[in-house]
Structure 1
Amino acid sequence: DRASEETRAKVVSLLYVMYLLGMGFSALIIGTLLRDYSSLLLVQVVQGAAVMTLVLNVIALWKQEKLSPMSTAERSAPKPAFSVAWSDFTQDSSVVRLIVTIFIGTMAFNMQDVLLEPYGGEILGLSVSSTTLLTAMWAGGALLGFGLAARWLSQGIDPFRMGGRGVIIGIAAFSAVLLSAPLSSPVLFFIGAALIGLGGGLFAVATLTAAMTIEVKGAAGRGLALGVWGAAQATGAGLSIFIGGAIRDLVNTAGQSGALGSALTSPSVGYSVVYQLEIGLLFITLIALGPLVRAKGLHASETRSLELSDFPT
């Protein structure tokens, strides 16, 4: 609300960078604490994390919001019905295609969310401390993706073309994770985790930038565009995490019961099915993304660098 129309997308990206930094640092701290693993130590770390979450949230929220952030005129101004704004927003077929692309791409990148760490521990025999560092690797890759995105956007690259690069990196990332088991290579596994973050970061920034630069008609506003981006991402992430875990459990249960034959009894089979499904979804994302790619990149006015004075205060 405090950012201008021109800088809102970049401010949201900055907030997401802070989120990734927090994830990366916390993963390193927890991984260090769990180096000498025991069940009691795990309980203590979880309890400590819960207390720190409460304390840090109180500090973060303290006096951050005014009791009445909007003026009286803003509150009394007539607001269009959601159905009218949504109809205006989706009358362009490219907008609908963008929503579908965000949803499918988010599913493709997030289906592994609850599987990477158990995959490393169960299949590659990594310690609890080592698998915890996967979060730091993912966050580091995502931060690198944000940095590359900022550089490319400042050069006027088409956001959809940049999103395609992220998808291609994601395909390579999941291929590396898949191959790490038969090759017994933890190094390849960690590289794959970092590349998942890199590809996902590029895709997230690309689709957010695209959502904030599309032509908004009628009663629809930039806030609706940002809300649609967030809703498509959250829905895709939530569904994919549930689907990924369920598929892994169902396939492994069927495999260990002998229903899939003697060649598919390994615990790695369930994980492999999920990772291959994610690669398939990434190819579908590329197909959906293709018609959206512009012949030319963004205009200079859309890629203006974000100065310190632009940040909401």
Structure 2
Amino acid sequence: MTDSASLLKARLRRLAVPFAEVGTRELPMTQILRLSLFQVTVGMIYVMFTGTLNRVMIHELGIAASLLGAVIALPILFAPLRLLIGHRSDHRRSALGWRRVPYLWIGTLLMFGGLAVMPFGLLVQSEYGADAPFLASLGAALAFFLSGLGVHVTQTTGLALTNDLAPEGKLPQVVGVMYVMLLVGMVISTGVFYVLLADFSHERLVQVLQGAALVIWALNVFALWRQEPRDPERSRVDRPRPPLSESWQSFMQRGPVVRLLVVTGIGAAGFGMQDIIIEPYGAAVLGLEVAGTTLLTGLWAIGMLIGFWFAKMALERGLNAYGAATIGALVGVLAFSLVIVSAPLDSPTIFRVGQVGIGVGGALFYVGTLAATMSMATREQSGIAIGAWGAVQATVLGAALAIGAGISDLVPALAEAGRLPELFLHPAAGYSVVYSAEIVLLLAMVVAAWPLARFTREGESNVSPSTATSNESGY
């Protein structure tokens, strides 16, 4: 009876705390959580860029939405640099024996510097934007560029360091922890920024943004402290550094890298086109109040946590990473279908269930594709692998956001001009076209990922032992 009770207790603990057993003697859970703080800071920046500063810039400061979109898009234009950043961190020359830490430090300083000058750039833009729009926008553009570039550098090298430190067979679970902490950072910072900026003033804006800069600096210093073992031989200053093209060709020989990146791009577009129109859809089509649309972010976060939990459990039980990503895409198809039918049924409940499903599917997709990319690389190639994955998903996501917003505006405009049937005059028409396009993209991703799943089942003998071991471990 005692043994049965102990077994039941252990199973309940695993269900309640799904990542409790990720830690090992080589990489304890405390070290994993400390390392994951860099994802918390990235989550803070994401919230500011996509939520908090949107409201502040448009409503409180009166900055045009088009200008807001332009400055926020600036960091996305440099997302392809993640590939170069990852490559350079793989082959960093340092007498101190570090490869990743210098880039984590550089990324931290870029985020700190961007946030430190951002409030002044925004205030200048608000005050003088009408008289000298170009000159007044330079400060805000520089601030967003520095912060966004810092995110690219920090997240790319941070995940590469995660791959370096993760024990064999534990990589998918460690990746799951990283993305849970990203979500934690987004949720906590959303609440904190909401409270601190509720009584808005220019002075409060300066205090909040510069305080966030200081918090980000402190968390990242604590995160990287004594994480990367020093290895002067691996990073000696006279060690030859292969060109990017040579490193890329070497990585390409590890397996079907191009197809994996295509799958990542298609899936990122499929999950990302609706990011900035989901709340307007709830308000315009289903009549949700401001509090109701704000709740959508929380529902999405709950769905992401459920998805991370399921990804961890499924990968531990032998499901390969491509299978997890494919299941995520199919869950996304179902979720977007629910969002579409919620309009004719006038059902906010179905809409909210669909929002949770989007979170579940997105978590499975991102964990699956990232774990697959990391497992395809050797320890010496983790930087370029993470850089390639990050460059593809960030660039495609930025383009998908713009295309999705454009389609939602274009469809009703064409209908009003008589170029589309009257059916498209319905308030839900433009949004439904976007959701339908996402369903098509996710189904296309499933088709493209099918040969990859077969590769992991049949191709172990054609890859190196480390990759075969990774595949047999479930990713």
> Is TM-score (shorter-chain normalized) higher than 0.5?
yes
Judged with a 3 Å threshold, the aligned counterparts in structure 2 of structure 1 residues 233 and 174 are, in CA distance, closer, same or farther, namely same
1:114 aligns with 2:270: no
Structure 2 counterpart of 1:161, from 320, 323, 326 = 323
Which stretches of structure 1, 4 residues or longer, exceed 6 Å deviation after superposition?
45-50
Deviation at 1:271, TM superposition (A): 0.4
Calculate the aligned-residue CA RMSD, in Å. 3.1
Query: For residue 77 of structure 2, what is the aligned residue in structure 1?
Result: none
TM-score, normalising length: structure 2: 0.56
Query: For residue 308 of structure 1, what is the aligned residue in structure 2?
Result: none
Letter in 1 for 2:367: V
Judged with a 3 Å threshold, the aligned counterparts in structure 2 of structure 1 residues 251 and 236 are, in CA distance, closer, same or farther, namely same
Q: Are the counterparts in 2 of residues 258 and 265 from structure 1 also a CA contact under 8 Å?
A: no
Q: Are the counterparts in 1 of residues 255 and 376 from structure 2 also a CA contact under 8 Å?
A: no
Judged with a 3 Å threshold, the aligned counterparts in structure 2 of structure 1 residues 138 and 49 are, in CA distance, closer, same or farther, namely farther
Unaligned runs of 5+ in 2: 1-99, 101-160, 461-467
Judged with a 3 Å threshold, the aligned counterparts in structure 2 of structure 1 residues 19 and 10 are, in CA distance, closer, same or farther, namely same
Judged with a 3 Å threshold, the aligned counterparts in structure 2 of structure 1 residues 123 and 134 are, in CA distance, closer, same or farther, namely same
Task: Tell me which moved more, 120-129 or 259-268.
Answer: 259-268
Deviation at 1:28, TM superposition (A): 5.8
Judged with a 3 Å threshold, the aligned counterparts in structure 2 of structure 1 residues 29 and 56 are, in CA distance, closer, same or farther, namely closer
Structure 2 counterpart of 1:186, from 348, 369, 373 = 348
Judged with a 3 Å threshold, the aligned counterparts in structure 2 of structure 1 residues 92 and 302 are, in CA distance, closer, same or farther, namely closer
Deviation at 1:9, TM superposition (A): 6.1
Query: For residue 197 of structure 1, what is the aligned residue in structure 2?
Result: 359
Query: For residue 307 of structure 1, what is the aligned residue in structure 2?
Result: none
Structure 2 counterpart of 1:213, from 371, 375, 380 = 375
Q: Are the counterparts in 1 of residues 267 and 441 from structure 2 also a CA contact under 8 Å?
A: yes
Structure 1 counterpart of 2:413, from 253, 266, 286 = 253
Larger Rg: 2
1:55-112 deviation digits (Å, cap 9, x = unpaired): 234123124467xx87765251322110111122224661111000000000000100
> Taking every aligned residue pair, what percent have the same amino acid on both sides?
37
Deviation at 1:212, TM superposition (A): 1.2
Letter in 1 for 2:315: L
CA distance, structure 2, for counterparts of residue 303 and residue 133 of structure 1? 38
1:172 aligns with 2:328: no
Structure 1 counterpart of 2:186, from 15, 18, 23 = 23
Unaligned runs of 5+ in 1: 34-40, 305-313
Query: For residue 298 of structure 2, what is the aligned residue in structure 1?
Result: 136
1:23-62 equivalent positions in 2, closer than 5 A? 23-27=186-190, 44=200, 51-62=207-218
Letter in 2 for 1:158: N
Q: Are the counterparts in 2 of residues 5 and 222 from structure 1 also a CA contact under 8 Å?
A: no
Higher helix share: 2
CA distance, structure 2, for counterparts of residue 18 and residue 170 of structure 1? 22
CA distance, structure 1, for counterparts of residue 442 and residue 287 of structure 2? 28
Deviation at 1:27, TM superposition (A): 4.8
Q: Are the counterparts in 1 of residues 176 and 312 from structure 2 also a CA contact under 8 Å?
A: no
Query: For residue 269 of structure 1, what is the aligned residue in structure 2?
Result: 429
Q: Are the counterparts in 1 of residues 270 and 441 from structure 2 also a CA contact under 8 Å?
A: yes
Query: For residue 264 of structure 2, what is the aligned residue in structure 1?
Result: 102
Task: Tell me which moved more, 53-62 or 180-189.
Answer: 53-62
Task: Tell me which moved more, 222-231 or 270-279.
Answer: 222-231
Letter in 1 for 2:401: I
How many aligned residue pairs are there? 293
- Secondary structure of 1:78 counterpart: coil
Judged with a 3 Å threshold, the aligned counterparts in structure 2 of structure 1 residues 49 and 127 are, in CA distance, closer, same or farther, namely farther
Deviation at 1:22, TM superposition (A): 2.7
Q: Are the counterparts in 1 of residues 377 and 385 from structure 2 also a CA contact under 8 Å?
A: no
Structure 1 counterpart of 2:440, from 274, 280, 283 = 280
Q: Which has the higher contact order (CA 8 A, sep 6+)?
A: 1
